[in-house]
């Protein structure tokens, strides 16, 4: 899973910004950060339009930031 | 300082009327009496475009009320729209730019399927966060797990918030759900985001509430029971949840509360209306506002501290959980509950002799928050 890293101070982000919240830098590079380490997850059974009817939703550590992602539900 | 001198209500729920009629239902009792005084209208609304295919709602509302030449603005700050609109109304009268602001919060959501409503509401998240498919209640589900793990809160203590708020809602004639629930009924209702259940999450709602906000020195010309906005604070945080340092504290709520408490000189209110879109949020917010030490809000619920007869009643109206959550109307309705309580007009859910009360209106998952402390004395 990719993260964005500020070219000025190295601050890592999951979501794109125009300006780094730490150093106000405006240049970022995208890099692969591996798989997130799940902090918490749970089964969602009322889902937004455009998504399947249930899935495990998770928040995990990704590099030095957080990620929100769907986990595969074991069959 | 600003004062609230009148409030109007619609019943919350699934309504057959269109959004303009719902808005008029709460606004007309105020407009009939004070039409000639009202010189500005604020319409708190979030989704008239998405749910009703309407733009320019504020001007449509003023025209529908035949106040065609009264200037108006629509205020959208997601689920915190009502708080932001109150902040704006207070600012207008305190600056002298307006002398009587009609503030109408309104939303009409129930025409749309649940999955569509869920998608629209979650559109406030970041692009990559949205792509994972979260809903706002799903984030509350994750928060529930984190809160229970971090502080040892029992599952029952979280669900008890729904029991309390439905009991309160059953005493509110304008509440959407007027049904007393047992703990077992809450815990056995449909799972929405494990562990959170159906009765722990606010329903999809239509409804409106209106207020008349005037400068404090004019308040007694409108009513002999004005309610003064003694302090109001607004704060914000990142829209991106993946930037947050913690989920079990809501810094925007804490900062807005600090401002409102400092301005008002009231550290601990007699009662409060909080943003219980999900049960766990009421508990976390009660800690962020300093009512209880961090990690101990759940104990206050179990001990009955937040019941109507408790030391610090929370969500006497039934909260969003039972009263309903027509998004643009909610913060206005929370303020109106404080208004009623301070005037001793809350009927069977009346708190005993309150002199001040607080409302907290929150956008998203703490993306922004408005806290107002109101009182019966200047």
Mutate to test the interface with B, among A47, A56, A67 (most CBs of B within 10 A): A47
Evaluate the omega torsion of the peptide bond into residue B195 and state whether it is cis, within 30 degrees of 0.
yes
Residue A70 is nearest to which of B122, B133, B192, comparing CB atoms? B133
From chain A, pick out residues whose CB is under 8 angstroms from the CB of B142.
40-42, 57, 59
pLDDT for position B219: 98
Q: What is the DSSP string of B11-57?
A: --B--SS-HHHHHHHHHHHHHHHHTTT--EEEEE-S-HHHHH--S-H
Chain B: nearest CA to A23, how far in angstroms?
A: 15
* Whole-angstrom distance, CA of residue B10 vs CA of residue B300: 32
In contact, B317 and B172? CB cutoff 8 Å: yes
- Average of per-residue pLDDT values in chain B: 97
3-state secondary structure of B271: coil
- Residue ranges of domains in chain A: 2-71
Asked if B194 lies within 8 A of A47 by C-beta distance, the reply is no
In contact, B77 and B117? CB cutoff 8 Å: no
pLDDT for position A75: 47
Domains and CATH numbers, chain B: 2-113+205-221 (3.40.47.10), 135-203+231-375 (3.40.47.10)
Q: Which residues pair with A12 in a beta bridge?
A: A5
* Whole-angstrom distance, CA of residue B260 vs CA of residue B359: 10
Q: Can you read off the two tokens belonging to residue B285?
A: 């917010």
The phi and psi torsions of B153 (rounded to 5 degrees) equal: -70, 140
Half-sphere exposure of B360 (CA within 13 A, CB side): 38
Q: For A27-63, what is the HEC assignment?
A: CEEEEECCCCEEEEEEEECCCCCCCCCCEEEEEEEEC
CB-based contacts of B16: which residues, under 8 Å, 6+ apart? none
Chain B: nearest CA to A16, how far in angstroms?
A: 8
Selected residues 42-71 of chain A with any CB under 8 Å from a CB in chain B:
42-51, 55, 57, 59, 65-70
- pLDDT tier at A73 (50, 70, 90 boundaries)? low
In contact, B273 and B319? CB cutoff 8 Å: yes
3-state secondary structure of B370: strand
Mutate to test the interface with A, among B116, B124, B132 (most CBs of A within 10 A): B132
pLDDT for position A71: 86
Residue A42's closest CA among B159, B190, B196? B196
Residue A49 is nearest to which of B118, B141, B146, comparing CB atoms? B118
In contact, B181 and B163? CB cutoff 8 Å: yes
ipTM entry = 0.94
Q: Which residue stretches of chain B have pLDDT < 50?
A: none
Asked if A44 lies within 8 A of B116 by C-beta distance, the reply is no
């Amino acid at each position: 899973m990719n993260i964005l890293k500020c070219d000025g101070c190295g601050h890592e982000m999951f979501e794109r910004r125009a300006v780094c919240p730490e150093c106000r830098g405006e240049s970022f590079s995208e890099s692969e950060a591996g798989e997130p380490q799940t902090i918490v997850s749970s089964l969602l059974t009322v889902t937004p339009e455009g998504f399947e009817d249930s899935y495990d939703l998770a928040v995990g550590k990704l590099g030095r930031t957080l990620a929100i992602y769907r986990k595969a539900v074991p069959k | 300082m600003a004062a609230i001198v009148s409030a109007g209500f619609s019943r919350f729920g699934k309504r057959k009327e269109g959004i303009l009629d719902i808005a008029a239902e709460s606004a007309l009792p105020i407009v009939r009496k004070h039409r000639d005084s009202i010189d500005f209208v604020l319409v708190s609304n979030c989704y008239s475009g998405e749910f009703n295919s309407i733009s320019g709602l504020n001007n449509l509302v003023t025209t529908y009320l035949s106040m065609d030449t009264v200037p108006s603005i629509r205020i959208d700050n997601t689920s915190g729209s009502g708080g932001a609109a109150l902040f704006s109304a207070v600012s207008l009268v305190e600056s002298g730019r307006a002398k009587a602001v009609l503030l109408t919060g309104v939303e009409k959501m129930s025409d749309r399927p649940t999955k569509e409503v869920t998608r629209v509401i979650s559109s406030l998240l970041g692009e990559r966060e949205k792509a994972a498919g979260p809903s706002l209640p799903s984030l509350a589900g994750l928060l529930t797990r984190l809160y229970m793990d971090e502080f040892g809160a029992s599952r029952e203590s979280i669900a008890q918030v729904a029991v309390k708020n439905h009991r309160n809602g059953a005493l509110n004639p304008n509440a959407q759900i007027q049904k007393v629930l047992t703990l077992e009924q809450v815990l056995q209702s449909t799972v929405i985001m494990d562990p959170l259940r159906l009765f722990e999450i606010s329903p999809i709602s239509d409804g409106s509430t209106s207020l008349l906000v005037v400068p404090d020195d004019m308040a007694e010309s409108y009513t002999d029971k004005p309610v003064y906005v003694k302090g109001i604070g607004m704060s914000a945080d990142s829209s991106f949840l993946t930037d947050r340092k913690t989920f079990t504290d809501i810094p925007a709520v804490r900062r807005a509360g600090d401002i409102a408490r400092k301005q008002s000189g009231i550290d601990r209110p007699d009662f409060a209306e909080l943003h219980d879109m999900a049960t766990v949020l009421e508990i976390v917010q009660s800690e962020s506002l300093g009512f209880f030490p961090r990690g101990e809000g759940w104990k206050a619920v179990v001990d009955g501290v937040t019941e109507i007869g408790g030391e610090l009643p929370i969500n006497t109206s039934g909260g969003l959980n039972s009263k309903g959550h027509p998004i643009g109307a909610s913060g206005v309705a929370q303020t109106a509950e404080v208004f009623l309580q301070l005037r001793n007009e809350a009927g069977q859910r009346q708190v005993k002799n309150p002199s001040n009360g607080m409302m907290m209106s929150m956008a998203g998952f703490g993306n922004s928050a408005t806290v107002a402390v109101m009182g019966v004395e200047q």
